[in-house]
């Protein structure tokens, strides 16, 4: 049984339809990558899941409970943003601890300290906990933002293209580290990217988003080798695939292909 269900989810801004009757079933503990071109609605989808935005229609179910009307703090969902979104006046320690200090937590200070240090050490930023965001490298900011999203062990973690603003070396390292870290939490991950390499490297399954809906949902291997449409095929590969209009026919036991008047 799926853990997170998206059922005919739709969102528009005036006459601009961003997401239209979008459907997906996501398993508990799955690393689910949403891949698509810029402007396809990936970040809007995360905002709907987090409760920052309300859907126009459709349902979001988590563990068989409809959560459309729940406020963000009631959803057991956390989010790491593309631009890190760290509090500039707080040191890394306080940024990570902030979800644990929410009004409804009432968590003892010694427990907060233990949880912050545990996740910081796991993400290899224990040595920068006493520094402000302006003193951190982009890689350290990214790990701090990720630590903040994981510290309270939420049921669902939403990651909005978190590696986009770090350099190539850190991006490569985190593609290897991130799945290992997240598996330790057994949390369900919705990961946004417009980098097909990242989608292929990280996802248990990839959902290809364009024209307001998921046009493919499958394993990285199947999407790469058997895309459902030419549009999906063009989004994968570097350089992009070549395509030609062709006529294919079988004649005298042989297959003949006619491409622009040339016969093969």
> For position 10, what pLDDT does the model report?
95
Mean pLDDT of the chain: 90
> For position 238, what pLDDT does the model report?
77
Helices (H), the chain: 42-50, 92-97, 109-122, 138-150, 168-185, 196-202, 220-225, 230-235
> For position 213, what pLDDT does the model report?
92
> For position 103, what pLDDT does the model report?
61
Task: Note the pLDDT tens digit of each residue in 153-189.
Answer: 899 999 998 888 788 888 888 888 888 888 888 889 9
Domain spanning 4-233 has what CATH number? 3.40.50.300
Structure tokens at 124: 């290899």
Task: Note the pLDDT tens digit of each residue in 120-137.
Answer: 998 889 999 999 999 999
């Amino acid at each position: 049984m799926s853990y997170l269900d998206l059922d005919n989810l739709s969102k528009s801004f005036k006459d601009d339809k961003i997401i239209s009757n979008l459907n997906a079933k996501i398993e508990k503990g799955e690393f689910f990558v949403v891949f698509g071109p810029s402007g396809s609605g990936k970040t809007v989808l995360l905002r709907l899941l987090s409760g920052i935005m309300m859907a126009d229609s459709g349902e979001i179910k988590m563990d068989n409970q409809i959560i459309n009307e729940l406020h963000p703090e009631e959803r057991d969902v956390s989010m790491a943003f593309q631009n890190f979104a760290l509090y500039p006046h707080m040191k890394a320690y306080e940024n990570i601890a902030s979800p644990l200090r929410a009004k409804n937590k009432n968590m003892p200070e010694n427990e907060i300290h233990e949880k912050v240090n545990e996740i910081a050490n796991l993400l290899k930023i224990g040595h920068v906990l006493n520094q402000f965001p302006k003193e951190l490298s982009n890689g350290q900011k990214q790990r701090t933002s990720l630590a903040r999203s994981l510290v309270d062990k939420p049921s669902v973690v939403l990651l909005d293209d978190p590696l986009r603003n770090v350099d190539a070396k850190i991006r490569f390292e985190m593609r290897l580290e991130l799945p290992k870290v997240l598996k330790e939490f057994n949390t369900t991950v919705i990961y946004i990217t417009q980098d097909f390499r990242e989608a292929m490297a990280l996802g248990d399954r990839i959902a290809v988003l364009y024209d307001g809906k998921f046009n493919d949902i499958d394993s990285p291997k199947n999407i790469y080798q058997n895309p459902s449409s030419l549009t999906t095929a063009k989004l994968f590969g570097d350089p992009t695939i070549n395509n030609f209009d062709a006529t294919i026919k079988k004649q005298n036991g042989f297959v003949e292909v006619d491409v622009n008047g040339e016969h093969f």
